[in-house]
Amino acid sequence: MLNFKTNECVSKVYRKIISRHGRVKNIKIYTEEPPQEGDTNTEGELLSMPPELTDKMQQLHEVFGSFGEEVKADAPEFTLHYDFQPFDSDEPLLFALGVYSPEKE
């Protein structure tokens, strides 16, 4: 679980995700859980994706409409959902390091 204060920006959420998971790309942050591929509603229609938080300067209190409470125990909890892709490097140097070994000579 990642914890944030309501006066923090969405960019801090991005940084904490990177800090937790390492080198990643295509981070997407949502206020609602995104449906899995192929999920449908009761009428058989595909579920749409919830809005993505793209403004990195937006503060979390603007997203959730709450500044929190003076007493931490009284503060409401909000959930953010995120998705990302692991970084897949195409750097030739990294490929070469996996092929060359001094012991093979």
Domain residue spans of the chain = 10-104
Tokens 């892709």 sit at which residue?
85
Cα dihedral sign, 99-90-11-81: negative
Tokens 């970084």 sit at which residue?
87
Q: What is the pTM of this model?
A: 0.70
Q: Convert the pLDDT of each residue in 40-94 to its tens digit.
A: 777 878 888 888 999 999 999 999 888 877 787 887 888 899 999 887 766 555 5
Q: Convert the pLDDT of each residue in 13-38 to its tens digit.
A: 999 999 998 888 899 999 988 888 77
Q: Convert the pLDDT of each residue in 49-63 to its tens digit.
A: 888 999 999 999 999
48 phi/psi in degrees, rounded to 5: -90, 160
